[in-house]
Structure 1
Amino acid sequence: MNRAAVEGKSTSTAVACDHCGLPVPKGLVDPAADEQFCCHGCRTVYQLLRDASLDDFYRVRQATGGDAQPVRTTGKRYEAFDSPEFQAEHCRGIAGGHLSIDLRLEGVHCAACLWLVERLPQLLPGVSSTRLQLRDAVARVTWNPAEVQLSSIAAMLDRLGYPPHLARHTTASEVHRRAERTQLIRLGVAGACAGNTMLLAIALYAGDFAGIEAEFANLFRYISAGIGIISLVWPGSVFFRGAINALRARSATLDVPIALALAAGGIAGLWNVVRGTGEIYFDSLSVLVFLLLVGRWFQARQQRWADETVGLLNSFTPSTCHVVRDDIVVETTIDSLATGDAVEVLSGDLVPADGTVISGSSTLNRSLLTGESQPEPVVVGDAVFAGTQNMGSVLRVRVDVVGDQTRVGRLMELVTEGVREKPPIVQLADRAAGWFVVVVLALAFGTFAWWTATATLSEAVQHTIALLIVACPCALGLATPLTMAVAIGLAARQHVLIKNATALETLAGTGRMLLDKTGTITRGRPTLVEWMGPAWLQGVVAYAESRSTHPVARALVETYGDHTIDDPANVPQNIEEQHGSGLRALVAGVELLVGSARFLESSQVIISDSQLEQIGCFEQTGLTTIGVALDGRLEAVAALGDQLHSDARVAVEQLTASGWNLRIVSGDAEAVVESVAHQVGLASEATSAEVSPEDKLALVTDRSDTTVMIGDGVNDAAALAAADVGIAVEGGAEASLAAADIYVAAPGLMPIVELVDLARRTRRTVRRNLCIALAYNAIAVSLAAAGWISPLVAAILMPISSATVITSAMSIHLRGESR
């Protein structure tokens, strides 16, 4: 807008803002200026774009049909974003010393906004990249803190009209709720239009048989056209926008044939209304719009269900916590926690954030992070992690890390990223859907040409519209991604976190399955195998060990905890635990020692030759020995071993029967590994003993077949990462959990069997859904092209295929729940 143009305007004509295009208030029109702006924000952004040579923003906005909206800025300086505490809590460090943060932006409404936000590096040197998700308006900004401050980045976004906020303060569920509300409003309008046009159609069809006066017939036809146009223009606009965007992007999406069918039917119907003869189609079109929106609403609901099932962080950490402020404990939301806060964790509560114990001692259930069901003791100075449960007395914890940066937060991020990745079968289905759209359009033009040449134009239009309606490839597009989402969500509910959807597809086949022994096939914690000594000492030892949380102590208590001590003089007194080695106590005035051979030797306990020989025999078979000494003499020996999971043999048999070639790989002695293999039904040749982490990695990489690695220890991490599918089982170390594609938090090997079964059911369901979609479309298109299906019948048949696919996909969930 130049000065001459402004001066040439009459006082009654509005002047458009050079940035947003909205009318400029009369008081802000400056006849002496070359550009006119409706507000200071638009003026600022306009100048910024010109200075940075980003004038293409206006071309992109015009090309994408972006709505005119004035710039909204807050003028905030965002100085708090630069504090070390804020960045430690909310920013992620990446390679090269750069930082990254997720910000939710106000004012994002069109593709031009996305284009402008992603060109932030051109406006601010030091910003490496900006990636904006238009759906939820979340931008991931990466920058070099040595070149630009985060407050400057936030202020620049604000000046551009996109005030930033922390993404976690406005949850994705709120975005989903707003979108769902809009969908429901659109669906209600479409339903009202469809109902009224159907009533009018019934009146017209009845009039054809019973007779109806011409003026009433024409009135009903015009009213039906008006309602139908409303249905196409408002609720149906989503399909036209989707088709236009697809054509601009030069891609074939499901909206293209839908929009073409709606446009062709609407134009033909309106023409017949004006002519006063022929089919008007608006009843069919209104019903089609309504049914399509119903299908999309159900699809969105299922996608939201899958997202919420995978988004497990909120269910693993409490929504509120108890913060200590000025020696007063107050309850607050977890979102308000900051680094350095002190929180009080009551018995039975979940720890809200990663931190350090500053007061108290207790035991924590860390099964979420490690799968280990036995509580572990913590004292002042020990690290604790979000999602673990306090099983003992009250703890006070200093908060070190909160939110997404906690251990459980990082684990959930790995799961979320894995779900976003499309496995090969989903990519194949996407390509098939694209080609199908092209084929449908070609068939539509061919059908129109054939019927135009052999019949009337009206029949050609009617049969072409029916073909476009009935051939909607919604079912083909839904078949695979919905099935995979349901399967991953079902696995998560069964405590199996699938971080990579491709892994589920791989498990549906066959190949090699390498199993670590300790903690995978065996329980990973000792149990009593044999006792050599007087029986009266069993209850005494159990009583002495009852206060200890050591795994050996728990094994003795579980076995002999119900034994009574007949003589009160034998009740242990002055019990003193020697961390990691044993304990001391007084029994009937003499010293009781319980512990390892090294502990007993350091205490000058006398051990006979026969006892040494027996201890040697136990240790050769892989058992751990614990000695019990009274008054300086060894009186009893307890032999403990790592027992198999109760389901190990059955699981191995079922995995073998399903086509997997199983092999045990372990760092234990050969005799121990072969003994375990024999117990689970595997031959000695199916074992590899005394295997180092490097050897495990070599076994995984030296393969000619699909290889699945299952383990739980740090020494398994490299092999888990290198395998086609790495599965970390309960009790696993953090390194193995991070390296694996799948984390099984349930005990035993049967969850692996169920996982393989789920993978194969998922593959069968995907194939069945694809066959249903393709068969339906092949039959329906043929009938429509032959003229045997009317547009109304097509509108009724079209959503049946989508409903069938959705029901088929959900059958995985139903069968999984019934297991």
Structure 2
Amino acid sequence: MEHQHSSHQDHEHHTSSSHGEHQGHDKHAGHSPEMFKQRFFVSLLLTLPILYFDPHFQEWFNYQAIQFPGSSWVSPILSIVLYFYGGWVFVQGAWRELRSRIGMMTLVALAITVAFVYSLAVTLGLPGMPFYWELATLIDVMLLGHWIEMASVQGASQALEHLAQLVPSVAHRLVDERLENVSVSELQAEEIILIRPGEQIPIDGVVIEGASSVNEAFLTGESRPVSKQEGDEVVAGAVNGEGALKVQVTRTGEKTTLSQIMRLVQEAQSSRSRYQVLADQVAYWLTLIAIGVGTLTFVIWLSLQDLTFAINRAVTVLVIACPHALGLAIPLVIVNATAMSAKNGILVRNREAFERARDIKTIAFDKTGTLTEGRFGVQAVYVEGLSKKEALAIAAALESLSEHPLAQAIVEEAEREHVQLSSATDFKAIAGKGVEGKVGGKSYCVGRPEWIGELGIEFPLSVQSGLEESEAKGESVIALMDETRVLALFALADRVRESAREAVRQLQQQGIQVVMITGDAEAVAQTVAADLHLDRYHARILPSEKAQLVRSLKTKAPAAFVGDGINDAPALLEADLGIAIGAGTNVAIESADLVLIEDDPVDVARALKLGKATYSKMIQNLLWATGYNVIAIPLAAGVAYPLGFLLSPAVGALFMSLSTVIVSINAMTLRRVPLA
């Protein structure tokens, strides 16, 4: 676990240094929480004798330390060990910083080195009072702060490790009906594997035999199992349910959906944020201010007090101003936001665009397949002389033999209504018109309304008004006829998703205007817009015109575009925030800023909510991490000394660490933001 984390940190360090940028927690390249934890406890043990022998402690707690030859050297020798064992990590960090850009490690290293060198000089004869106990406790508190910080960063980064653990290491390959256990890395495309009940799926593939339900919660955030049968796709990391599946491998290794998700999560976690850049700039100036104020404090107090007091004040300024919380303020929010997004099936590809989510005032949805299901459903049935169920039974008996998508919609509606189907005989498809055949020994035709006129049969008025009503809504109509008259009309349309209504409601609650864009006719667009309570829509828009329309929306207010990411690439790129929805297993959509794995428009509202929460956490952290210095630095410099209030370096280190802990906890509370 540690090894994985440190290599991830190394990766981040190299990424940022290759851009010549300074990033706070990258100074921990190659470090692990275990290392800081170990150094903290060893240093704490070494500190106890130093505190015991310190004159201040003997005076405060009214005791006499035991004396023996060389007892005066216990504190100096242990301090040397402490400086090189516990403090050297900060000196190394400062050395790395000095080669790029100074920051928090420089301040810590400067503070402990000044304290160490001065105290040693006093022991060797320089007049003054050493502060070994301050040096020791300062190193302890700094190690503790870094341990807490690294543990929280690692805890948030574990989203990646959890994803990596989803893939089993062994697969059951079928060769000539014989099973052999092989390493997943050996699998090739087109090979057949067996997945037993309860096992995790090791690769992406297509079911060629068997039926089961599969839990894809890691991918979609949806805990309900998804049923799988022949021809359905399964993805690596999902858990097989009650049935055995034979699967043909389609994607292996880096190409699997899970690997692509891991890559996107990793890129998002290590990507730079504009607020991170701001935090780094503030940290840089804070470091310069601290060194300046520390030097000035030393000069002023040297003229007013003794050398020990002056150094003590200067060291406290350097420690308390350490912009540690600032270096952690943004990265911790980023890793938490990314982990939370991935858990909710929201993949962040462009960190900066995600932060812009808070500004979005208009959101444009592509209609087909996004707000609607992208497949036809029966909206209404108009009948004459028979019941709705009877009409469905006859039409579905004939349409079950047809390949047409509209025919499938009628069959599905009959299934939904639990209609018992009869079998059709003498079936014949008439090109461009419909189908005909016998049901229960009687002849029927099912087809386009235009066919009615050609057959010259009776068209009852009640059914005729249904046709006018449906055509006004832009619905497709199918007629059921016997040899003498029209028996029923079925109005079909692309079904509005149930979740689309909820998504529009949530977005409008957030004060965002929702716009629908579609290539469909005006009547269809108007019907869907009315169903969704949308006051703005654009009909008959060609795919090439979508980007242009998004550009014009953008000029009025920051705009997002939601599409399926395949033919919507130009519009996704044009928008301030491009959201690809319903990516399913095809997550590598290069044009979108956010990729929503499920076909659920409500995830758009969730993503915007998370974007806003992420932004506010960043701002809160930045304000806290810089704001506390306004009070802390003057106190450390000794402005309250005339009032009898003085901060020691160790207390300064405690305050500094406390601010780091506050920033960490605040970032962690992001996980408590309700997205539903």
**TM class by shorter-chain length?**
0.7 to 0.9
Instruction: Give the counterpart of 2:155 among 305, 317, 320.
Output: 305
Three-state SS of the structure 2 residue aligned to 1:323 is: strand
Instruction: Give the counterpart of 2:661 among 783, 803, 816.
Output: 803
* 1:438 equivalent in structure 2: 288
Structure 2 CA distance for aligned equivalents of residues 736 and 778 of structure 1: 46
Structure 1 CA distance for aligned equivalents of residues 485 and 246 of structure 2: 44
| Per-residue deviation, residues 404-441 of structure 1 (Å, max 9, x unmatched) | 12355335434433443212111111121112111111
Structure 1 residue 251, shift from structure 2 partner: 1.4
Instruction: Give the counterpart of 1:234 among 85, 92, 100.
Output: 85
Three-state SS of the structure 2 residue aligned to 1:714 is: coil
* 1:812 equivalent in structure 2: 670
How do 1:234-633 and structure 2 match up within 5 A? 234-247=85-98, 249-275=99-125, 279-309=129-159, 314=164, 319-339=169-189, 341-345=191-195, 352-354=202-204, 359-360=208-209, 378-379=230-231, 386=236, 396-533=246-383, 534-537=387-390, 540=393, 553=408, 557=412, 561=416, 563=418, 565=420, 571-572=422-423, 588=440, 597=448, 609-610=459-460, 614-615=466-467, 617-626=469-478
The 3 A distance-change label for structure 1 pair 522 and 585 is: same
* 1:783 equivalent in structure 2: 635
Alignment coverage as a number of residue pairs = 639
Three-state SS of the structure 1 residue aligned to 2:10 is: coil
Three-state SS of the structure 2 residue aligned to 1:508 is: helix
The 3 A distance-change label for structure 1 pair 234 and 584 is: farther
Contact 1:539 / 1:560 at 8 angstroms: preserved in 2?
A: no
* 1:745 equivalent in structure 2: 597
* 1:187 equivalent in structure 2: 40
Residue type at the aligned position of 2:611: A
Structure 1 residue 673, shift from structure 2 partner: 1.6
Structure 1 residue 771, shift from structure 2 partner: 1.4
Structure 2 CA distance for aligned equivalents of residues 575 and 180 of structure 1: 77
Deviates more, 1:654-663 or 1:695-704: 654-663
Residue type at the aligned position of 2:567: N
The 3 A distance-change label for structure 1 pair 245 and 753 is: same
Structure 1 CA distance for aligned equivalents of residues 348 and 428 of structure 2: 42
The 3 A distance-change label for structure 1 pair 723 and 349 is: farther
* 2:23 equivalent in structure 1: none
Three-state SS of the structure 1 residue aligned to 2:315 is: helix
* 1:663 equivalent in structure 2: 515
Pairing 1:135–2:7 present = no
* 1:638 equivalent in structure 2: 490
* 1:756 equivalent in structure 2: 608
Three-state SS of the structure 1 residue aligned to 2:95 is: helix
Contact 1:728 / 1:736 at 8 angstroms: preserved in 2?
A: no
Structure 1 residue 227, shift from structure 2 partner: 2.6
Structure 1 CA distance for aligned equivalents of residues 251 and 306 of structure 2: 73
| Per-residue deviation, residues 738-775 of structure 1 (Å, max 9, x unmatched) | 42111223454433223222222222221111111112
Structure 1 CA distance for aligned equivalents of residues 457 and 168 of structure 2: 53
The 3 A distance-change label for structure 1 pair 473 and 138 is: closer
Contact 1:351 / 1:388 at 8 angstroms: preserved in 2?
A: yes
* 1:76 equivalent in structure 2: none
The 3 A distance-change label for structure 1 pair 789 and 612 is: same
Contact 1:712 / 1:732 at 8 angstroms: preserved in 2?
A: no
Structure 1 residue 541, shift from structure 2 partner: 6.8
Structure 1 residue 474, shift from structure 2 partner: 0.3
| Per-residue deviation, residues 602-647 of structure 1 (Å, max 9, x unmatched) | 9x99975456774464244233445557799864443333444445
Contact 1:524 / 1:642 at 8 angstroms: preserved in 2?
A: yes
* 1:729 equivalent in structure 2: 581
Contact 1:713 / 1:733 at 8 angstroms: preserved in 2?
A: no
Contact 1:228 / 1:282 at 8 angstroms: preserved in 2?
A: yes
Pairing 1:695–2:570 present = no
Structure 2 CA distance for aligned equivalents of residues 332 and 418 of structure 1: 33
Pairing 1:792–2:650 present = yes
The 3 A distance-change label for structure 1 pair 335 and 701 is: same
Contact 1:418 / 1:498 at 8 angstroms: preserved in 2?
A: yes
Q: Which runs of 5+ in 1 are unaligned?
A: 1-105, 110-131, 141-174
Three-state SS of the structure 1 residue aligned to 2:541 is: coil
Contact 2:268 / 2:351 at 8 angstroms: preserved in 1?
A: yes
Contact 1:519 / 1:731 at 8 angstroms: preserved in 2?
A: no
Residue type at the aligned position of 2:153: Q
Contact 1:717 / 1:735 at 8 angstroms: preserved in 2?
A: no
The 3 A distance-change label for structure 1 pair 312 and 629 is: farther
The 3 A distance-change label for structure 1 pair 311 and 745 is: farther
Contact 1:574 / 1:585 at 8 angstroms: preserved in 2?
A: yes
Instruction: Give the counterpart of 1:770 among 619, 622, 625.
Output: 622
Contact 2:173 / 2:193 at 8 angstroms: preserved in 1?
A: yes
Contact 2:260 / 2:587 at 8 angstroms: preserved in 1?
A: no
Larger relative contact order (CA 8 Å, sep ≥ 6): 2
Residue type at the aligned position of 2:151: R
The 3 A distance-change label for structure 1 pair 232 and 302 is: same
Structure 2 CA distance for aligned equivalents of residues 490 and 667 of structure 1: 35
The 3 A distance-change label for structure 1 pair 192 and 643 is: farther
Structure 1 residue 782, shift from structure 2 partner: 0.5
Deviates more, 1:766-775 or 1:801-810: 766-775
- What TM-score, normalized by structure 2, do the two folds share? 0.80
Three-state SS of the structure 2 residue aligned to 1:224 is: helix
Structure 1 residue 313, shift from structure 2 partner: 5.0
Contact 2:350 / 2:593 at 8 angstroms: preserved in 1?
A: yes
The 3 A distance-change label for structure 1 pair 519 and 427 is: same
Contact 1:605 / 1:633 at 8 angstroms: preserved in 2?
A: no
Residue type at the aligned position of 2:286: F
* 1:155 equivalent in structure 2: none
Residue type at the aligned position of 2:10: R
Structure 1 residue 571, shift from structure 2 partner: 4.7
The 3 A distance-change label for structure 1 pair 298 and 632 is: farther
Structure 2 CA distance for aligned equivalents of residues 443 and 743 of structure 1: 48
**Equivalent pairs: percent with the same residue?**
25
Structure 2 CA distance for aligned equivalents of residues 218 and 470 of structure 1: 35
Residue type at the aligned position of 1:618: S
Structure 1 CA distance for aligned equivalents of residues 167 and 395 of structure 2: 36
Contact 2:395 / 2:480 at 8 angstroms: preserved in 1?
A: no
| Per-residue deviation, residues 49-86 of structure 1 (Å, max 9, x unmatched) | xxxxxxxxxxxxxxxxxxxxxxxxxxxxxxxxxxxxxx
Instruction: Give the counterpart of 2:570 among 711, 714, 718.
Output: 718
Structure 1 residue 659, shift from structure 2 partner: 4.4
Contact 2:287 / 2:323 at 8 angstroms: preserved in 1?
A: yes
Three-state SS of the structure 2 residue aligned to 1:344 is: strand
Structure 1 residue 727, shift from structure 2 partner: 0.7
